[in-house]
Structure 1
Amino acid sequence: MKKQTILFFFLTLLPCALFAQSDSIGIYMLNGDVISQIEPIKNNGYKANTLGAAVSMGIANSTIRVTFKEPTSKNKANRDTSFYFYYNPNIGNNARLLMTYYMFATGVSPEVDFSLVKFIKKGKTRELKTGTVNVYAGVNINTETNTNARFLVTKVSDIKYKVTLHDVDPGEYCFMYDGINGSGAYMPVFDFSIE
C-alpha cells in the first residue's frame, strides 16, 4: 500500500513539476513564502518643463518626464524580498505574450537587460525623468535611476535568475527594460514599493 501511495503522488506531481515553469515569464517577487507576479504597467503621459528654457532663451534644459497612474504600487516588497526573472525564448506565436513580455523572449539576463529605477512621487502620480531638451545641445534621452540602490543577480538556470536588492531605501521603484538606448520608460515597467 505504501508503494502505491508513493507511486500515486509521484505520478500526480510529476506533470506539475515538468510544466510549472514552462509558462512562467516575466518578474515574480517572493515575500516570505508568498510568490506573486509583477504585472507590467504602462505610462499615462509625458511632461516637459519648458519654463526655464523660455526664461533663458533656450540656454537652460527642459526636463522630459513620463508619468504613471497611482501614487504607489500595488506590489508591496521589503528589503528582504527576492525577485525572480523568468526568460522564455519559446513564446512562439502567442501575440499577447509577445507584446507584453517581448523583453523576456530576446533578453540576455537582468543585469544586462534591466535597470532599477526609483520613481519621483508627484501628488497622485509617479514620474520618471527620461531626458532633457536644449535649443543648443539638442535632445538627451536617458532615464535617470534616481537611486544608489543596486541589485545582485544569481543565475538559477538558463531561463531563471534570482535578483536581490542592496542599499535600497523605502520608496517607489521599478525594473525598467533597457533594451532601446536607455529609453525604457516609454515601455511597460515592473513597479513595486519598498516599505
Structure 2
Amino acid sequence: MKTIKKLFLFTVFAITTIGFAQETITNESVVQMVELGFDDYMIIDKINTSDVKFDASISALGEMKNAGVSSEILSLIMEKSKQNTKSKTGIYFTDASGEDKLVQPSVFSGANSNAVAQKLVSGLINSKQKAQLPKTQSNNIIRQSQPEFTFIFDPSVTEVDNMQNNQGSDSGIFNWWFRMASNPNEFVLVKLTVKEKKNLREVITGKESWITSSSGIDPKYALNFAIEEIEGNKFKVTPDSLEPGEYCFIYQGQVPQGRDNQSVFDFSIQ
C-alpha cells in the first residue's frame, strides 16, 4: 500500500512538474505541493532544480507554517530567497501581469517660484524650489490603491557592479542611492502636483526668504508607509491607501561627493 502511495505521488509530482515547468516556484507553489501530499524530499528537490521567487518575510513564513510547510522547507526558502530574480539594487513593484518591475529613476529639473516678486519686495515673500518632471503621468503605472514595493540595498557593491541604473544619459553616474542608503527610511514618499497646461508634475523641495532657507520635503507632505525587513538588505514597503494620482519616492539621505540628487522614483496610481 505504501509503495502504491509513493508511486501515485511520484506520478502526480511528474504531472505537476510539467505544469510548473514554465513558471517560477513561489510560496504559493510550495503550499500547493504540500496540500497535494508531496513528501518533503520531493518539494526540496523541486525547489533546488527550479527558478524561485520567494517571500521570506516573517508574515509570509508564518502563513506557510500555518499551511503545514515543514521547518526544513521553510529554512530552504529563507536561503533561496536570497537568489530571487529581484537581486539587483533598486525599487521594485509588481505590475498587472504579476511581473516584478524596476522603478527607473526619473531626472527632474528645478524651478524657483516667486523669485521675481521676492526681489521686488526686498525678499519679504518666500520663494519655493520645485522639482519638475516632464509629462503628466509616470511610465510606471500601478492599478491598485495599496501597492507593495521591494527596496533592495547593497552598500558593498562597487560602481562597476552596479551599473544597471544610470541617472539621465550620463553613464558615469550610477545607481548610488541604494549604496548610500541602508533602509527605506532614507526615502520620503510624496504626491506630485500635476500641471496639465505645462505638461509636467512637480513637488516643492525647498523654501527661501531673505532671512532663512530650507531644503528637502516638508514633513507635512510626506506620506506614511510601513516597512518590513525581508532580510538584511531587502525590505517590503507598503504605503497607506493611495488615491489615484502621481507619486514618487525621493532620497533624503547623504549625497556622495560628485553626485547630484536630481532624480526621483515616480509612479502613477490608477
Q: TM range, normalised to the smaller chain?
A: 0.7 to 0.9
**Paired residue for 1:72, among 137, 149, 154?**
137
Instruction: Give the superposition deviation at 1:146.
Output: 6.5
Instruction: Give the superposition deviation at 1:73.
Output: 0.5
CA distance in 2, matches of 1:8, 1:68: 49
Instruction: Give the superposition deviation at 1:107.
Output: 1.7
Give runs of aligned pairs for residues 1-195 of structure 1, distance below 5 A: 12-13=49-50, 19-21=83-85, 23-31=87-95, 33-77=98-142, 78-94=144-160, 96-97=163-164, 99-111=173-185, 113-123=186-196, 124-135=199-210, 137-144=211-218, 147=221, 149-180=223-254, 186-195=261-270
- SS of 2:50 mapped into structure 1: helix
CA distance in 1, matches of 2:240, 2:117: 36
2:114/2:125 contact within 8 Å kept:
no
CA distance in 1, matches of 2:48, 2:219: 48
Percent identity over paired residues: 24
Q: TM-score, normalised by structure 1?
A: 0.80
2:52/2:85 contact within 8 Å kept:
no
Any unmatched runs of 5+ in structure 2?
Answer: 1-6, 18-41, 54-79, 166-172
CA distance in 2, matches of 1:190, 1:62: 25
- SS of 2:163 mapped into structure 1: helix
CA distance in 2, matches of 1:34, 1:127: 29
The structure with the greater share of residues assigned to helix is 2
- Aligned-pair RMSD on alpha carbons? 3.2
2:180/2:254 contact within 8 Å kept:
no
Any unmatched runs of 5+ in structure 1?
Answer: none
Equivalent residues, number: 190
Report Cα offsets for 1:150-178 as digits up to 9, x if no partner.
10001111111001111432211111111
Instruction: Give the superposition deviation at 1:66.
Output: 1.8
My pick for the range that moved more, 151-160 or 124-133, is: 124-133
The structure with the greater share of residues assigned to strand is 1
Instruction: Give the superposition deviation at 1:61.
Output: 0.8
